[in-house]
C-alpha cells in the first residue's frame, strides 16, 4: 500500500537552509541535533534533523529522518514526551533514515523528495506503523494547535 506524504513542513527553502548549514557551519551543529522540518503521513511523521552520530573513529554530522507516531498504550516502551503536554508518542529507531552529510549535499530538493518518499514508503509497511496509518485522527493538527497556543502564551 502507498501513502500520501505531506511535505508542507519541509519545503525547498527548509532544504536549502539545511544544506547551507551543512556546507558552511556544520562544526557548530548543536550536540543534541538541530530540527529542520518533518514529513507527515496520517498519524506518523518523520522528523528531519542534522545531528552528530558515531562513525568510524569518531563522530560526524548526518541528516537523520526519524519516525514518530501516537503512543500505543499496549507498547512495552515508555512514550517520548513532546514539549506539548498530553501528546506522547513512540519512535521506531529501526525505521530511521540516515544520510551522510556529503550525500545530502549532493542532492537536489526534488531528488531528495523522491529518494525519501521511496524509503519512507518501504518503512511504512512495517507492522509498528499499522495503527497510526489505519486512520487519520488529526493528531498533528491537534499537536500544531497546542504548540501555537503554547507559543502564543510564551510570547505574551
pLDDT 10s digits, 22-51: 999 999 999 999 999 999 999 899 999 999
Would the pLDDT of 125 be above 90? Answer: yes
Q: Which set of grid coordinates corresponds to residue 150? A: 503554547
Residue 6 forms part of a structural domain? no
Q: Hey, how many other C-beta atoms are within 10 angstroms of the C-beta on 66?
A: 19
Residue 69 forms part of a structural domain? yes
Percent residues over pLDDT 90 in the chain: 60
Residue 7 forms part of a structural domain? no
CA distances from 31 to 37, 61, 129 (A): 18, 10, 29
Q: How far is CA 115 from the centre of its chain?
A: 15
- Number of structural domains, the chain? 1
* Domain around 138: 12-155
What's this model's pTM, rounded to 2 decimal places?
0.86
Place 83 in a pLDDT band, splitting at 50, 70 and 90: low
53 beta partners = 60
Amino acid at each position: 500500500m502507498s501513502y500520501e506524504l505531506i511535505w508542507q513542513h519541509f519545503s525547498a527553502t527548509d532544504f536549502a537552509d539545511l544544506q547551507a548549514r551543512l556546507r558552511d557551519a556544520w562544526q557548530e551543529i548543536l550536540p543534541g541535533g538541530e530540527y529542520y522540518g518533518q514529513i507527515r503521513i496520517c498519524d506518523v511523521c518523520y522528523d528531519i534533523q542534522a545531528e552528530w552520530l558515531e562513525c568510524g573513529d569518531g563522530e560526524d554530522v548526518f541528516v537523520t529522518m526519524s519516525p514518530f507516531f501516537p503512543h500505543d498504550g499496549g507498547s512495552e516502551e515508555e512514550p517520548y514526551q513532546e514539549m506539548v503536554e498530553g501528546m506522547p508518542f513512540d519512535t521506531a529507531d529501526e525505521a530511521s533514515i540516515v544520510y551522510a552529510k556529503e550525500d545530502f549535499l549532493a542532492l537536489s530538493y526534488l531528488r531528495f523528495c523522491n529518494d525519501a518518499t521511496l524509503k519512507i514508503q518501504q518503512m511504512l509497511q512495517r507492522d509498528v506503523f499499522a495503527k497510526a496509518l489505519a486512520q487519520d485522527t488529526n493528531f498533528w493538527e491537534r499537536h500544531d494547535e497546542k504548540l501555537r497556543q503554547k507559543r502564543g502564551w510564551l510570547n505574551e
